Amino acid sequence: MATTTTVPTSGQGEGGKTRRDFLIITSIVTSAVGAGIAMWPFIDSMNPAADTLALSTTDIDVAPIAVGQRITVVWQGKPVFVSHRTPEEIDAAKKVDVASLRDPAADEQRAVIKPEWLIVVGICTHLGCVPGGQKPTEDRGEFAGWRCPCHGSQYDTAARIRKGPAPKNLPVPAYKFTGPTAVTIG
């Protein structure tokens, strides 16, 4: 007995698939990969530049800062005040009636991690001047904190607005202690 096989004559292979189906699927896949490769430079250009990423955080060592001393560091192009507060400054900040403040905030909300360290962005919330009071010889105002030289806004030892035209407290940036004396701002 002889066996006969039939050869499809219409271009169909096993299961009803044609060469045309194969070519369509192959061209769709190739087009999708090509579009992805072509779009990658545009998508990658939306990532922040290396210099911007470098400014996103600032690391400081607070070990050399003596009790009662204040320093200024730069974070994202803005001055940041780091104050190693004395126990007297902490007590004075805690004794303030929060309800009497223009922008109410307890001292515990301002010095969020360790009460002896106050870290705030040093830009007056009125018109953007840099308040004085970082050096012992500068005018710290009636509340022993910071005083803006532009329009006279005065902040207390928790950097809360107490007098003058500024509407809000000096902002507290995001920061964390990464070691006993190492702080990362941002």
Q: Which residues are catalytic?
A: 151
At a CB cut-off of 8 Å and minimum separation 6, what does 141 contact? 133, 147, 154, 155, 162, 163
Evaluate whether 154 touches 162 at the Cβ level (below 8 Å): yes
Evaluate whether 128 touches 122 at the Cβ level (below 8 Å): no
Phi, psi angles (nearest 5°) of residue 185:
-100, 130
Amino acid at 2: A
| Start-end of H helices in the chain | 19-44, 50-55, 87-94, 107-110
